[in-house]
Structure 1
């Protein structure tokens, strides 16, 4: 069973593409998911919370500078890149808000897996994801209001409450379950990746189904914007970390964390507060950042192996 679950999780990107095609071809098969979007995101975030330990909070306090650099890069680079892309492509408000939401959301949980595959600093990745997620109820609506409030109606308080309910509360609940019900956690955890994949796949499929009529006209543009957004996040995240004197391992971790957003949260907020078309950037990002993250991880491992082979052999004196 564990091999089957791992196979399904490893093929998340393919499953998301397949469900997206189904949503575009037969929208009626997936529109029913709409009312359950926030609940599904809550389940995913509960699963994330169950992976956290009290020690993760201690790690943040032990290495505040590194975490602060990563969190600062996350909430500065991605929102500003989003705003720049919105301006360059002259997007209408209903699409622009979706791009802004992707930029203002916290790091995604998939970044921790990619950081591990890329031989990055997994502890730093977890600390950054946890910190940006805990800050999201305040920072995400604040940044969204600041960047997009002039041309679209945004309820700061309502969005803050929603993020607290579907992101913060499930994460804390998952953490408490892990801490106080360790035996139960061990039984549940093997199935949680599968549950999370099902929720993410259905969420993306629902977004595509609800905006199928719009997808044909803006799909390619949104795909280009998402690819650029992700690429700039990865590149600028790495650059910022290096400029602030972080080593290569930590710099690649910051790059991955910055470039990989909680796009499911962005899509959920778009469906709840704006319109289905606004959720398209988040849905497309959900597919692409897993693809690009895997490519980055593969590149990092290959480069490490090449550098290891090129290192001169130690000299021995007779």
Structure 2
């Protein structure tokens, strides 16, 4: 696959399509929930916005990644949660409403967090191979491929709820297919470098994944959040929107995409294992909690009945 074509056209279009599908599942209530249940959202966002990228810095140092790949790992750590985190949270009987809210808010916040940690990591690791990184350009790219398509999706849901309810299952499957193609394309375009650095990058990415879920779950429990909320926060940190990291990384240097591509290959397995382990524990929350989960995990049902 031609690298300029991948970086400049296909990846931005792919992530925009995925973010639009996310917008189809969101309502303004997902953003207002921060006012209704501020403690869970605040703790989750601190974990996602600070703990995750700082852990990525630590893992890049610990495994002595080369500067460009170190920047790619931090870029991944600074990326927002993804739709798959919402799905795994639902399967684990975690707090799906909290998961959806964190995904929505972190996707909007990525306009600030991604360029911020990209700049910090570029300076810290001395990634001269990236050249002069244009922060206004990165901000514009993140805004164009996250905020705009999410807004379009939300607008479509508000204007055409019945139609969105009918097409959303197919759109969600399509977004998963696009996700797989993005990861495959990123690996294929850099397969030689992936093989050369597979051991170090895989080890760093896997440790980041496991440490982020374990530490964020512990922090949430120490903050006296319940198991369901803690599960949602842990999965949000374990299952990132890696396609965003790949798209931004590809706009800088193809090698920057390697950590996110490698991470994408296993994050659903580790996240799924954690969700399976928490399922029975969270089931003790009772029938009311289960009913709330069903409502939160299927936000388009109300549109289908209109």
Of 184, 192, 209, the match for 1:213: 192
Of 239, 251, 262, the match for 1:284: 262
5+ long unaligned stretches in structure 1: 1-26, 309-318
Q: What is the aligned partner in structure 1 of residue 107 from structure 2?
A: 133
Distance 1:305 1:191, change over 3 A: closer
Q: Is the 8 A contact 1:115 1:125 kept in 2?
A: yes
Matched length:
280
What is the alpha-carbon distance in structure 2 between the residues aligned to residue 108 and residue 187 of structure 1? 22
Q: What is the aligned partner in structure 1 of residue 20 from structure 2?
A: 46
Q: Is the 8 A contact 1:78 1:233 kept in 2?
A: yes
Q: Is the 8 A contact 1:115 1:253 kept in 2?
A: yes
- With 215-224 and 116-125 compared, the bigger mean Cα shift is at 215-224
Task: Tell me, yes or no, if structure 1 residue 261 matches structure 2 residue 240.
Answer: yes
Q: What is the aligned partner in structure 2 of residue 234 from structure 1?
A: 213
Q: Is the 8 A contact 2:56 2:73 kept in 1?
A: yes
Task: Tell me, yes or no, if structure 1 residue 168 matches structure 2 residue 147.
Answer: yes
1:47-86 superposed Cα distances (whole Å, 9 cap, x missing partner): 0000001221222221122211100111111111110111
Q: Is the 8 A contact 1:121 1:249 kept in 2?
A: yes
What is the alpha-carbon distance in structure 1 between the residues aligned to residue 224 and residue 32 of structure 2? 23
Distance 1:87 1:167, change over 3 A: same
Distance 1:199 1:304, change over 3 A: closer
1:258-307 superposed Cα distances (whole Å, 9 cap, x missing partner): 2221111111111112x222101111111211111110111112445799
What is the alpha-carbon distance in structure 1 between the residues aligned to residue 276 and residue 16 of structure 2? 31
Q: What is the aligned partner in structure 2 of residue 68 from structure 1?
A: 42
What SS class does the counterpart of residue 149 from structure 1 fall into? helix
Alpha-carbon deviation of 1:242? 1.2
What is the alpha-carbon distance in structure 2 between the residues aligned to residue 115 and residue 217 of structure 1? 35
Task: Tell me, yes or no, if structure 1 residue 94 matches structure 2 residue 68.
Answer: yes
Q: Is the 8 A contact 1:98 1:279 kept in 2?
A: yes
What is the alpha-carbon distance in structure 2 between the residues aligned to residue 190 and residue 108 of structure 1? 17
Q: What is the aligned partner in structure 1 of residue 59 from structure 2?
A: 85
Structure 2 length normalisation: TM-score? Answer: 0.86
Q: What is the aligned partner in structure 2 of residue 244 from structure 1?
A: 223
Distance 1:31 1:202, change over 3 A: farther
1:168-199 superposed Cα distances (whole Å, 9 cap, x missing partner): 11111101110112132123212111210221
Structure 1 length normalisation: TM-score? Answer: 0.83
What SS class does the counterpart of residue 249 from structure 2 fall into? helix
Of 78, 84, 90, the match for 1:104: 78
Provide the aligned C-alpha RMSD in A.
2.0
Q: Is the 8 A contact 1:226 1:288 kept in 2?
A: no
